[in-house]
Amino acid sequence: MSTATLTAVTTTRLTIPGAGTLEFHRDRATGALLGIEGGGRTYLRVDPDGTRTWPGVCRTREERTGDGMARHVETATAAWTEHYRWREDRLVEVDGVEVRRDGDGRVIACVPGGEDPAPGGHRWLYAHHGPGPIHITTPTGARQIATTPDGVVRSWREGGQTHPCTWSGAGARLPLPRPSADHVDEAGRHWATLDPQGRLRHLYLWDGTRCLARIDGPVGAPLAAVFSLDPSATPVRIVTPHGATRVPRDAYGEGLLAHDGVPGLFGGHVAGGVVHLPLRRLDPRTGTWCEPDPLDGGDDDPRRVGGYAGELPVEKDPRSRYEVCRGDPIGRADPT
């Protein structure tokens, strides 16, 4: 990766093996993304008023509202507004989905609500006990989850079938690997997906920890999809040159598993039915992590790289090392 500075704009060049070189333009003072280019093509242009233009796909503009934020999206054939609303610092509406919580702040329901409600069949219900979910009702059925007292999922049952979960001695789910040939950077961001023959399938565009868009080919190929993200960096709409697909929010991003080439919860890469984040994996079907929290302050805490031996901040009194965001992965985010 190389960086060049011209006047008020800093340009960073990123070369992805087998795909080409992308250029990211940022405001030198603030670090804000101003544009993305590569292969003679402009992928993103950000105007001074904040309007984002994704050539051939859409234009977006965000504005603050009294209790939240509105995102206006325009394509060649349609326009809509996504609404995000907070109450007492908790996100309670996500693009047409009302989020309900129990007395402990855990998500118990994602149902249609707001100014542009999700389809009537979008109804996700969650029952919690101890360290995590034990029952999830989806738009298509119901699922029971069997866990140990410390939050390890032993199995889940749905549609008359039981699915056992296998664990290693170190407390990690097996096997659920990420494809080894895919291009992942040191920060854990998934930039390129290859097919079994090693050919490039998808190339992703990132801004920090937010996966913004996808190219189906090398740098220079046109945009294939733009992801409209909620505040946790989880996609809620997929916009393509041919139209848009709404993926109403559920607690753990399970609805995104049905869409190839689309990030999952918190922008993680989906492979093998789980979401691969920088330091561990997440299973949307059980609403749990597949590994314990690595940021535990112990000797193997990745923040000790470089030899730091002092005290580190850790989550206070967790119910389980496998629970996702204390049961609220909509109002909180954990991109580990």
pTM for this predicted structure: 0.94
Task: Tell me how far CA of residue 246 lies from CA of 80, 219, 229, 237, in angstroms.
Answer: 11, 27, 11, 4
Average pLDDT over residues 112-126: 97
Cβ atoms of residues 278 and 335 within 8 Å: yes
Nearest partner of 126 among 159, 104, 95, judged by Cα? 104
pLDDT of residue 282: 96
Beta strand ranges found along 77-182 (DSSP E): 79-87, 90-94, 97-101, 107-112, 124-129, 132-138, 141-147, 153-158, 161-164, 166-167, 173-174
Flag the least confident range among 45-49, 135-139, 330-334. Answer: 330-334
Confidence band of 179 (pLDDT split at 50, 70, 90): confident
Task: Tell me how far CA of residue 132 lies from CA of 136, 171, 185, 279, in angstroms.
Answer: 11, 16, 31, 20
Read off the tokens for 88: 């007492």
Q: How far apart are the first and last CA of the chain?
A: 23
Question: How does pLDDT run across 220-263, given as a tens digit for each residue?
Answer: 999 999 999 999 999 999 999 999 999 999 999 999 999 999 99
Confidence band of 3 (pLDDT split at 50, 70, 90): low
**Distance of alpha carbon 89 from alpha carbon 166, whole angstroms:** 38
Flag the least confident range among 126-140, 206-220, 292-306. Answer: 292-306
pLDDT of residue 234: 98
- pLDDT score of 6 more than 60: no
Radius of gyration of the chain (CA): 20
Task: Tell me how far CA of residue 229 lies from CA of 46, 83, 207, 273, in angstroms.
Answer: 17, 12, 12, 21
Percentage with pLDDT > 90 across the chain: 82
Read off the tokens for 70: 């509105």
Strand partners, 82: 71
Flag the least confident range among 152-156, 282-286, 299-303. Answer: 299-303
**Distance of alpha carbon 33 from alpha carbon 206, whole angstroms:** 10
Average pLDDT, the chain: 94
Percentage with pLDDT > 70 across the chain: 98
pLDDT of residue 12: 97
Average pLDDT over residues 71-88: 98
CA torsion, ordered 164, 325, 191, 43, to nearest 10 deg = 130
Taken as a whole, the chain contains a residue count of 336
**Distance of alpha carbon 296 from alpha carbon 310, whole angstroms:** 13
Average pLDDT over residues 151-165: 96
Residue-wise DSSP of 121-146:
T--EEEEEETTEEEEEEETTEEEEEE
pLDDT of residue 285: 98
Instruction: For 327, list phi and psi in degrees, rounded to 5.
Output: 80, 5
**Distance of alpha carbon 75 from alpha carbon 241, whole angstroms:** 8
Single-letter code of the amino acid located at 281: R
**Distance of alpha carbon 9 from alpha carbon 188, whole angstroms:** 26
**Distance of alpha carbon 118 from alpha carbon 237, whole angstroms:** 11
Flag the least confident range among 177-191, 205-219, 319-333. Answer: 177-191
Confidence band of 132 (pLDDT split at 50, 70, 90): very high
